[in-house]
Amino acid sequence: MHCMRDLILFPRKTRFWWRPSMTTSFLNGERAVVLFFICRILYSLPFSLLFHGLALSLLSLSSFFLEISFDSSNSPSLFRTRPGASSGILLGAVTLPSLFLSKLVQLSRGFSLAQLQLEEIQYLTLQYWATSASACSVIFLLAFARRRAPLSPFHWGVRFSLCSIFFQALVSVAALSTTSQIGLHPALKLMWAFCHGLASVKLIQLFLRTFPSCASIGETFLVTSGIVLYFGDMLLLTIKKLHELLMSSELVTAEYEISRSEISIIIQGLVLGLLLYPIALKYILQIWEWSINTTSAEARRYYEIGKSLMFVASLGIVLIMIVPSWMQFVHEFQMHPFFWVLSFVLSEPSKRLTLCIYWVCIICVSVFRFYNISKNSKIERILLRKYYHLMAVSMFLPALIFQPKFLDLAFGAALAIFLMLEIIRVWRIWPLGQPINQFMNAFTDHRDSDLLIVSHFSLLLGCALPIWMSTGYNDRPLAPFAGILSLGIGDTMASMVGHKYGVLRWSKTGKKTVEGTAAGITSVLAACSLLLPLFASTGYILTQHWFSLLLAVTVSGLLEAHTAQLDNAFIPLFFFSLLCL
Q: Is 524 in contact with 490 (CB distance < 8 Å)?
A: yes
Q: Is 447 in contact with 385 (CB distance < 8 Å)?
A: no
369 falls within a domain: yes
Query: What pLDDT sits at residue 5?
Result: 42
* Percent of the chain surpassing pLDDT 90: 38
**Residue that finishes a domain, picked among 243, 271, 287:** 243
* Percent of the chain surpassing pLDDT 70: 83
Better-predicted residue by pLDDT, 102 or 2: 102
Query: What pLDDT sits at residue 83?
Result: 75
Query: What pLDDT sits at residue 532?
Result: 83
Global model pTM greater than 0.85: yes
Confidence band, pLDDT 50/70/90 cuts, at residue 27: confident
Query: What pLDDT sits at residue 252?
Result: 42
Domain identity same for 238 and 355: no
Model pLDDT for residues 218-270, shown as the tens digit of each residue: 999 999 999 999 999 998 888 888 877 776 544 444 444 567 889 999 999 99
The dihedrals phi and psi of 505, each to the nearest 5 degrees, come to -90, 145
108 falls within a domain: yes
Say whether pLDDT at 179 is over 90. no
Domain identity same for 356 and 484: yes
Domain identity same for 231 and 370: no
Domain identity same for 537 and 425: yes
User: In which element (H, E) is residue 469 found?
Assistant: helix 455-469
**Residue that finishes a domain, picked among 198, 222, 243:** 243
Confidence band, pLDDT 50/70/90 cuts, at residue 501: confident
Model pLDDT for residues 62-98, shown as the tens digit of each residue: 999 888 888 776 554 566 777 777 788 999 999 999 9
* Structural domain boundaries, residue 546: 333-580
Mean pLDDT for the chain?
Answer: 82
Domain identity same for 517 and 372: yes
Mean pLDDT value of segment 385-397: 85
Domain identity same for 373 and 503: yes
572 falls within a domain: yes
Say whether pLDDT at 521 is over 50. yes
143 falls within a domain: yes
Query: What pLDDT sits at residue 20?
Result: 39
Model pLDDT for residues 447-484, shown as the tens digit of each residue: 767 678 888 888 899 999 999 998 888 888 899 999 99
Model pLDDT for residues 545-560, shown as the tens digit of each residue: 788 999 999 999 999 9
Domain identity same for 425 and 550: yes
Cα–Cα distances in Å, from 387 out to 372, 396, 488? 13, 14, 9
Model pLDDT for residues 480-497, shown as the tens digit of each residue: 999 999 999 999 999 889
Model pLDDT for residues 325-341, shown as the tens digit of each residue: 999 998 888 889 999 99
Model pLDDT for residues 412-438, shown as the tens digit of each residue: 999 999 999 999 988 888 888 888 888
Q: Is 80 in contact with 17 (CB distance < 8 Å)?
A: yes
Domain identity same for 47 and 156: yes
Domain identity same for 350 and 480: yes
Domain identity same for 223 and 361: no
Domain identity same for 64 and 186: yes
DSSP-assigned states of every residue in 26-78: SS-HHHHHHHHHHHHHHHT--GGGHHHHHHHHHHHHHHHHHHHHHHT--S-BS
138 falls within a domain: yes
Mean pLDDT value of segment 500-522: 87
Query: What pLDDT sits at residue 10?
Result: 36
**Residue that finishes a domain, picked among 210, 243, 276:** 243
Domain identity same for 94 and 223: yes
78 falls within a domain: yes
377 exposure class (CB count in 10 Å sphere: 0-12, 13-18, 19+): exposed
Q: How far apart are CA 289 and CA 303, in angstroms?
A: 8
DSSP-assigned states of every residue in 73-117: --S-BSS---TT----HHHHHHHHHHHHHHHHHHHHHHHHTT-S-
Query: What pLDDT sits at residue 340?
Result: 94
Report the domain count for the chain.
Answer: 2
75 falls within a domain: yes
1 falls within a domain: no
